[in-house]
Chains A and B, each alone.
Chain A
């Protein structure tokens, strides 16, 4: 059974698609939509400084094989995820990695949850 992430832990969603951020750095809902496994990949960044979060993002960028560009990050507390009836479970290695799981299958419901997370997130363009 995967270990649950703490209720109030801070999560970072690193953004590798430039169109997933608005001009002001706020994430769009698409930034949080789950992948084909119905999971959204995040990093647990509690107690990290902004600079350390950036380094963590660059580390994610380096690990990926598709030569992506890190465009920004969106921070959100796990309590937001839990309030929307999803869960975040640890998925290491790599260190700090976790997945937001429990997404519904219905498209518009997914959109509403992703929109709810995006609107509570604190986004930053790099």
Chain B
């Protein structure tokens, strides 16, 4: 019989009354390891799809006036910055939409519903600038990017999606 692994199915519970505490502990560790591997695979898939979107944007928007409104081309540096930000994505991060913008940067947009959104981009100077709206609460800011996904952005995403901590 051929068995295949369905990545979307929950991991089955294996419980028998006769297992020792030690065996149960090993099984729990094994389950955690599988969970972690599947999360890594899923995160890998998200990153791959975002990298290919970045490539598409690079192709479409790397010339002057790419939008007919006199916009700066999306520069190789802006492409690299977007890729660095994607590399830093922690597990559990919601999938953003990528948007080329008139400032020559690639924006990352997360939107849950009306007046519940976050937009961010990583500038050539290494600062991540962002704006956040959730109902009447709105603010903007910028954070230095040092290779790891900024904690402040993780917190805002958690608030936006009402998830447990992303990072």
Contacts and interface: CB of A to CB of B under 8 A. Distances in A.
Contacts, number: 94
A37 B103 CA distance: 11
A115 B131 contact: yes
B71 A29 contact: no
A26 B129 contact: no
B97 A108 contact: no
Interface stretch (A12-20, A45-53, A73-81, A87-95): A12-20
A22 B98 CA distance: 10
Contact of A29 (B68, B114, B131): B131
A64 B70 CA distance: 11
A64 B119 contact: no
Contact of B101 (A33, A37, A112, A116): A33
Contacts of A19: 57, 97-100
B133 interface: yes
A30 B131 contact: no
Given A17-B67, A107-B142, A112-B139, A28 B131 contact: no
Contacts of A66: 65, 68
B109 interface: yes
A33 B103 contact: yes
Contacts of A112: 131-133, 138-140
A108 B140 contact: yes
A28 B115 contact: no
A109 B57 CA distance: 24
Nearest to A113: B131
Interface residues of B, number: 35
Contacts of B123: 107
Contacts of A25: none
Contacts of A29: 107, 109, 117, 119, 131
A97 interface: no
B69 interface: yes
A35 B68 CA distance: 10
26 contacts: A16-B68, A17-B67, A22-B111, A28-B119, A29-B107, A30-B102, A33-B101, A35-B69, A35-B70, A36-B71, A65-B68, A66-B65, A66-B68, A68-B68, A108-B130, A108-B142, A109-B140, A111-B120, A111-B121, A112-B131, A112-B132, A112-B140, A115-B119, A115-B131, A119-B114, A119-B115
Given A36-B71, A108-B142, A115-B131, 10 more contacts: A16-B67, A19-B57, A28-B109, A30-B102, A30-B109, A34-B102, A108-B129, A112-B138, A112-B139, A119-B114
Q: Which 7 residue pairs spanning A and B have beta carbons closest together? A: A112-B131, A111-B131, A66-B68, A108-B140, A108-B129, A112-B140, A30-B101
